[in-house]
Amino acid sequence: MAPEQVLSGTDAAKIAEVCQKHGITTAEFAQLQARSASAKATAYCPYSRFRVGATLLVDGPAYVDGANVENASYPVGTCAERVAFGTAVVQGHREFRAVAVSTDISPPASPCGMCRQFIREFVNLSIPVFMFDKNQDFVVMTMGELLPMSFGPDRLPPLALRERWVEPGIPSIHSNL
């Protein structure tokens, strides 16, 4: 697979074209770009020093930010994208229109595999994911492009079928689905 084209974060015509393609306004793009970059300042990353900020565009429109939070026990840390989605879900948001991720490197970094799967739980495959670098240049891909052949809630069998899988008298972990 060829590397994705890095687009200029200051090319107004290209930004307008990308926004139209993905169903957001240029003002919403500017907020995603600025907020995800600002969110990096709140990262807790004393071990890697690799700051990541994330911003979600939710219905409203409104925005939810997140930053990576590391831990001395490395696997316990949480990526910026998962912090943002966790915050959004706790706040009651369920409709997401775009995701933005910002780092201090160039070219832009994409969400890790775990974050891609986590994001997929909450968005459809056409949602754009904007990935900004240290210069605010960016790559944009849909969730479906980032995680092809993904497994999401829509892949689960119907609830009625899942309920038949449970033995009588044994509580189902899916009883609230």
Whether 167 is catalytic is no
Q: Which of 10, 6, 31 is nearest to 99 (CA)?
A: 31
73 assigned ligand-binding residue? yes
pLDDT of res. 156: 83
68 assigned ligand-binding residue? yes
Amino acid at 141: M
pLDDT of res. 161: 73
pLDDT of res. 60: 85
Give mean pLDDT in consecutive 10-residue pieces for the chain, a chain of 177 residues.
80 97 98 98 98 96 97 96 98 97 97 97 96 97 95 82 66 51
44 assigned ligand-binding residue? no
End-to-end CA distance of the chain: give it in Å, rounded. 37
Given 4, 17, 28, 81, the catalytic residue: 81
DSSP for 75-126, please give it. Answer: GG-B-HHHHHHHHHHHTT---EEEEEEEESSSSPPPPPHHHHHHHHTTS-TT
pLDDT of res. 1: 47
Q: Yes or no: is domain 12-150 CATH 3.40.140.10? A: yes
